[in-house]
Structure 1
Amino acid sequence: MPKREVDKRKTTKALRKLRRVAERASEEGGPGLTTWEKDFVEGVTERLETYGSAFRDPSKGRLEDALSARQAQITRVIDKKSRKSKADPASDAKAGDAKEERSRSSFKQRQPMRAQSVRKQGKAKTAWKPRVRDINEDVELPASEAAPAPAPVPPKPGRPSLKVIPGGKS
């Protein structure tokens, strides 16, 4: 198997980012790292320092990268978590205002054609009912079937008797 060539700059960049994320999360007022996240950061940092890469399987990411695709994604999640809690409430309000301004667009989402025609006709949207018919409603029952059958007569009390049926085997 050919030896992997991992770019040193990518390794140092990944190390720097991991350390920065861990520091930002563990700062005062930060969210802190869970034990799993601490173990992840320590393990990946150790592998990066030792081998220059934190993964070996080529199916997990690009061979020239220092982190696998999943490791990079987890690092981004931890980074986002640490940035979000670090922001002060005043900047959150500004971010909310900016979000409202972005949502006020002259472009509206297009409605399906059926919804447009119903709205133009002034019909209120009602629950959909299938146009089906119960076939049992059309069938008229004869009087004999309509009346309930009489209850069977209970057998006479006593010992059962056996009889020979004529026309049987001879």
Structure 2
Amino acid sequence: MIIGAMSDYDKAEWQAEQLARDTAQSAYRDKMAKARERSARNAKRKIARLHAKLTELGHISDFEDEFGESVLERLEKFGSAFHDLEKGRAGDALSAAQKQVVSRMNKKVKELKAKSQKGGEEIDPDAEYERTTPAWKKSKTSSFKSKHRFTPRVRNLDEDMEAEEQALQEIDFSNPQIEPFIPRYNARAEATLKTPNTSGEAPKTASDTKRPFLRIVPK
């Protein structure tokens, strides 16, 4: 009896848990369905507006024309433009790739409107993805200052040689005052240097040598 009562309790508990899971899943599906319906209404309104505006401006491509018609048809018939849930979220009516196409169409319409308001020439519809010259390249001044080129601090020997040659060319050696000094030959000094002094006496200098005495005898 006790075992049977426990089994009935487990069965009732399992049924309660299963009912709670089913209720949560049903609520989630209803929530996603409402979100998908709301997303489908917004997508239909936006795609229809962009398709009509590009057609009016005369800048709609074949791909954009076919994309707008096919997506609007699927949204009207199925409430969603994609079936594989891996390509988008459950509450969205458009996949990630389809959202990118709609975003490019919206950007193209804004550029055409801005161009028409300025009164300039109309842009090429096939060049909306080409990047134009950035604004910072058009300005004459830049906030980044160019650095000075590094030059090593070395001594140029050629310049020193040229300076010495120029100084020698400017000197006039014909002037006797600046004639170069030439030492005179002294035989006594050379003999003194060649003959060693063995007596131990100090060598005689020119001042110690006696001059010869000259006596004048009257007639």
- TM-score computed with the length of structure 2 as normaliser: 0.40
1:167 aligned partner: none
1:55 aligned partner: 82
Q: Distance in 2 between matches of 1:89 and 1:119?
A: 47
Contact 1:6 1:65 in 2 (8 A): no
2:48 aligned partner: 19
Alignment of 1:1-170 (within 5 A): 5=33, 7=35, 8-27=37-56, 30-86=57-113, 87-88=115-116, 90=118, 108=144, 119-121=149-151
Q: Secondary structure, in 3 states, of the residue corresponding to 1:20? A: helix
Deviations 1:35-94 (A, max 9, x none): 2221111110011111111001111111211100100101111222222123326287xx
Measured on the aligned residues, the alpha-carbon RMSD in Å equals: 3.5
% of aligned pairs identical?
35
Q: Distance in 1 between matches of 2:88 and 2:149?
A: 51
Q: Distance in 2 between matches of 1:119 and 1:17?
A: 56
Task: Identify which of structures 1 and 2 has the higher relative contact order when contacts are C-alpha pairs closer than 8 Å and 6+ apart.
Answer: 1
Q: Distance in 2 between matches of 1:75 and 1:69?
A: 10
Deviation larger for 35-44 or 77-86: 77-86
Q: Secondary structure, in 3 states, of the residue corresponding to 1:119? A: coil
Contact 1:44 1:54 in 2 (8 A): yes
Deviations 1:102-135 (A, max 9, x none): x8885x49x9xxxx6x83448xxxxxxxxxxxxx
Q: Which has the larger radius of gyration?
A: 2
Q: Distance in 2 between matches of 1:68 and 1:6?
A: 17
- Give the structure with the higher percent helix: 2
Deviations 1:5-43 (A, max 9, x none): 35222111111110110111111xx24322222111111
Q: Aligned in 2, Cα 1:63/1:105: closer, same or farther, shift over 3 Å?
A: farther
Q: Distance in 1 between matches of 2:96 and 2:79?
A: 16
Aligned AA (2:44): L
Aligned AA (1:11): A
- Consecutive unaligned residues in structure 2, runs of 5 or more: 1-25, 121-134, 153-219
Q: Distance in 1 between matches of 2:69 and 2:86?
A: 23
Aligned AA (2:118): A
Q: Distance in 2 between matches of 1:105 and 1:14?
A: 44
- What is the number of residues matched between the two proteins? 107
- Consecutive unaligned residues in structure 1, runs of 5 or more: 93-98, 123-170
- TM-score computed with the length of structure 1 as normaliser: 0.50
